[in-house]
Each structure stands twice: as C-alpha cells, then as structure tokens.
A and B are shown apart, each in its own frame.
Chain A
C-alpha cells in the first residue's frame, strides 16, 4: 500500500508511527512539509536511510523545490512530479494519507 506523509518529522510523530506501521515493500510518499524528511543531514537521517532500504520512498519535487531542499534530496528517495503522484495512487490499491 501507499502511505502519504505531509507533516514535518520534527513537528509531529506522524512519520515515526507510519514507519513503525508500514509493512516492508510498502511505498511512502512525502508531500508538503513532509518533504523535510527527505533532506539529508538532519537528525533523522539514519532513520530515513533504513526506511529507504525497507520501503520504496518518494518525494514530491514541487514541494521540495518550494522549500529549497531539492539539492539535499537523500540517496534512495525518488523525486516525482504531480503526474507521478497520480501514478502511485493508481498503482497501489490502498492509500493512507496520514494526518
């Protein structure tokens, strides 16, 4: 299934709960303030590195561009555009947009 995160990992427990709940092989997509998780050099970098080897990790590039973090995108995170976002929701039969 597809998990969608739109909150900063430094503001809420959403990312932690998602990573602990999602089954291996699931897809995780970061959008809006969620994309800060995909920037390298932060306190959660190690957690994200493990996540990238367990899950398929995507981030919405327009949201990264808007926040100036595209150049810092972590290795293992696939950047996608809005069309790619739609493709993911079609590819996975169930999506969970964490609030």
Chain B
C-alpha cells in the first residue's frame, strides 16, 4: 500500500480540477491505498456548505465529499491560513476536517509516496 496525497488548490466550478481530483481520489481508494486530501488556497472553497449549482447547469458534486468516509477516506486536512484569509471557519465546511498550519502540512507531505496536485 502506498501513501497518496491529493493537494486541492482550485475553487470548484471555475475549472474542472476539483471534480477531476475527486474522481481520481475515489479511484485510488478503490485500489486500497492510503489516501489523504489537503485543501489549500482556493481549494478550501470546494468544501463550503450550501452550494446550489442549478442556475449554472453544472452538477453539484460537493455532497460527494461527505461520501468519502464510506470509502475509508478520513484524512482530510485544511490549511488554516487559507481558511482565515477567506473569512471561513470549519463550521462553514460540509465535512469535518483537521485544520493544520503549513508547517504541519509540509511534514505530512514529506511522508507521502505520491503527491498529486489539482
């Protein structure tokens, strides 16, 4: 089993990165790998509660983050400074996450076999 970290740094609907990341995460979990997700910079917007996408004609994929637990993906880390800069707190997010500073995230990153950026 390898340790995979997915670093998400893009807002959800302006580009396809966030959705693509989620799909690769689910595939990786299917192969029984150790998966962790980091949300940093605009990536923290992926987890914001209350997304309503009907008006823009794009599927709202945010509920999928709540389903990750069912795939044994429970390591969700959010960068504290990125949250604060955007006026967000963990209460604004649709899943429970571990909020860490960049030093702690860097240490986790260093322990990985594979780091993928989205």
A interface residue numbers (CB < 8 A to B): 1, 13-14, 17, 20-23, 26, 93-99
Q: Establish whether residues B109 and A17, one from each chain, have CB atoms under 8 Å apart when the complex forms.
A: no
Interface pairs (22), CB distance under 8 Å: A1-B115, A17-B9, A17-B79, A17-B102, A20-B81, A20-B106, A21-B106, A21-B109, A23-B103, A23-B107, A94-B110, A94-B112, A94-B114, A94-B115, A95-B115, A96-B7, A96-B115, A98-B7, A98-B9, A99-B17, A99-B117, A99-B118
A20 — which chain B residues lie within 8 A by C-beta?
81, 102, 106
Number of A-B contacts defined by CB within 8 Å: 46
B105 — which chain A residues lie within 8 A by C-beta?
21
Task: Report if B23 contacts A (CB, 8 A).
Answer: no
B113's contact among A21, A22, A94, A97, by CB below 8 Å, is which? Answer: A94
Interface size on B, residues (CB 8 A): 21
14 further A-B pairs in the complex, CB-CB below 8 A; given A13-B41, A96-B115, A98-B7:
A1-B110, A1-B115, A17-B102, A23-B110, A26-B110, A93-B113, A94-B113, A94-B114, A96-B7, A96-B109, A96-B117, A97-B117, A99-B10, A99-B118
